[in-house]
């Protein structure tokens, strides 16, 4: 695949959704089991997950999905220049301090900055404007994700040099159909690689985070009804807040009427997950509920693992129809997402618009997009 200038793919001044892939350049796996030496690097997956969660609370970028594999990682993000533009100068300085602290405490975490230290960071208006831009930049997000991991891995391996390939790959996801297909593709990566049997077993994926949080919330709701206690009195379980740093799948809209302690439970979770410190915003990124998404993910994963297609269940057909996704080619488009689609993914009319914007007549993968998304 030829290399394209990032500015040809990413429009930093507009809200957009992108799929990014960073791949390890060395023979030794990033996070897997080294077959030659027998040494395990699985603990590095925790490094990446924790770093990505930390960055989600600093950058003006929504993290919609992720998956950490043996020698590469996937991240789906939504740039939010509108969010970064609304920050005050003090907030920009505080976020930049958390990203590049000039002092650290005994645990190695950023120390609490003094007011004069924040004032120094924002003293020059041009520098302050550049820092605001960087806090909304996809390239800077990936840099701040990959560079610390590379340095830490090099220290652990006792070597120097490149740990990642020269640059990360990115794709523009132009509509809901492309975002849905890419999200399923990313969440099913461990299933396709035979690292897990089911999405709920695929640790270090966004699906795993959401499933654990959903189960914890439902369990707490049942316990609250049974014991007639509110989550405020009992405390919200940590697993129920596990996915609070990820961009919400769908706007929170209770499907049934909620009374009493349940209403207080929902309100408590919304307050804890409001995105003030853990994510850029609480705006959803898909037009279907988490339950619908997980049903589609589970069904698609079964087809991928079995190596054959099955009929689209009646309960899932309306989901694909709403997003104008062709049911006949759904599994194939998910399974081959990384090979079929390149710089941009979406329906043919969106691809034509994007090609014209970049001064091109057409994009590679147009026929595949027509078959998959119409």
d(CA 109, CA 365): 45
Radius of gyration of the chain (CA): 21
Q: What is the pLDDT of residue 19?
A: 95
Domain assignment present for 17: no
Neighbours of 298 (CB within 10 A): 16
Q: What is the pLDDT of residue 275?
A: 40
For every one of its 374 residues, what pLDDT tens digit does the chain have, with 9 covering 90 and above?
456 677 777 888 889 999 999 998 865 567 777 777 777 888 999 999 999 999 999 999 999 999 999 889 999 999 999 999 999 999 999 999 999 998 888 887 888 888 888 888 888 999 999 999 999 999 999 999 999 999 998 898 888 888 888 788 899 998 888 999 999 999 999 888 888 887 888 889 999 999 999 888 888 887 877 766 554 445 556 777 888 999 998 755 444 433 443 334 333 333 334 444 789 988 999 888 888 898 888 888 877 665 555 555 666 666 666 666 655 677 778 887 888 887 788 887 887 777 777 777 666 667 777 777 76
Beta carbons of 199 and 303 less than 8 angstroms apart: no
Q: What is the pLDDT of residue 182?
A: 93
Domain assignment present for 123: no
Domain assignment present for 186: yes
Domain residues for the domain of 181 are 177-326
Domain assignment present for 156: no
Domain assignment present for 28: no
Q: What is the pLDDT of residue 134?
A: 95
Using CB atoms within 10 A of its CB, is residue 314 exposed (0-12), middle (13-18) or buried (19+)? exposed
Domain assignment present for 359: no
Domain assignment present for 374: no
Domain assignment present for 185: yes
Q: What is the pLDDT of residue 38?
A: 75
Count structural domains, the chain: 1
d(CA 183, CA 274): 22
139 token code pair: 């390239």
Backbone conformation region of residue 40, classed left if phi is above 0, alpha if psi is from -120 to 50, else beta: beta
């Amino acid at each position: 695949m030829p290399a394209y200038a990032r500015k040809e793919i990413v429009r930093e001044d507009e809200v957009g959704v992108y799929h990014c892939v960073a791949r390890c350049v060395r023979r030794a796996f990033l996070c897997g089991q080294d077959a030659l030496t027998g040494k395990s690097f699985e603990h590095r997956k925790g490094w990446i997950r924790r770093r990505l969660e930390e960055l989600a609370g600093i950058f003006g970028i929504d993290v919609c999905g992720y998956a950490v594999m043996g020698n590469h990682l996937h991240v789906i993000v939504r740039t939010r220049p509108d969010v970064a533009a609304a920050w005050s100068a003090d907030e920009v300085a505080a976020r930049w301090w958390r990203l590049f602290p000039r002092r650290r405490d005994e645990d190695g975490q950023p120390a609490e900055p003094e007011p004069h230290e924040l004032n120094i960071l924002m003293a020059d208006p041009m520098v302050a404007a550049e820092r605001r831009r960087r806090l909304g930049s996809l390239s800077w997000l990936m840099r701040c994700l990959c560079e610390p991991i590379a340095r830490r891995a090099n220290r652990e391996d006792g070597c120097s040099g490149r740990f990642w390939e020269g640059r990360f790959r990115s794709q523009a996801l132009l509509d809901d159909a492309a975002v849905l297909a890419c999200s399923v593709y990313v969440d099913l990566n461990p299933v396709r690689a035979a690292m897990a049997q089911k999405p709920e077993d695929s640790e270090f994926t966004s699906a795993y985070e959401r499933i654990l949080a959903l189960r914890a919330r439902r369990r707490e709701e049942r316990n609250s009804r049974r014991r007639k206690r509110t989550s405020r009195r009992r405390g919200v379980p940590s697993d129920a807040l596990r996915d609070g740093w990820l961009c919400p799948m769908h706007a929170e809209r209770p499907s049934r009427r909620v009374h009493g302690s349940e209403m207080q439970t929902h309100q408590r979770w919304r307050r804890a997950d409001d995105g003030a410190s853990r994510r850029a915003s609480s705006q959803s990124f898909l037009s279907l509920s988490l339950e619908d998404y997980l049903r589609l993910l589970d069904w698609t994963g079964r087809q991928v693992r079995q190596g054959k297609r099955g009929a689209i269940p009646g309960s899932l057909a309306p989901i694909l129809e709403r997003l104008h996704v062709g049911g006949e080619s759904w599994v194939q488009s998910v399974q081959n997402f990384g090979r079929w689609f390149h710089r941009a993914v979406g329906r043919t009319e969106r691809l034509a618009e994007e090609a014209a914007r970049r001064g091109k007549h057409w994009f590679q993968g147009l026929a595949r997009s027509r078959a998959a998304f119409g």
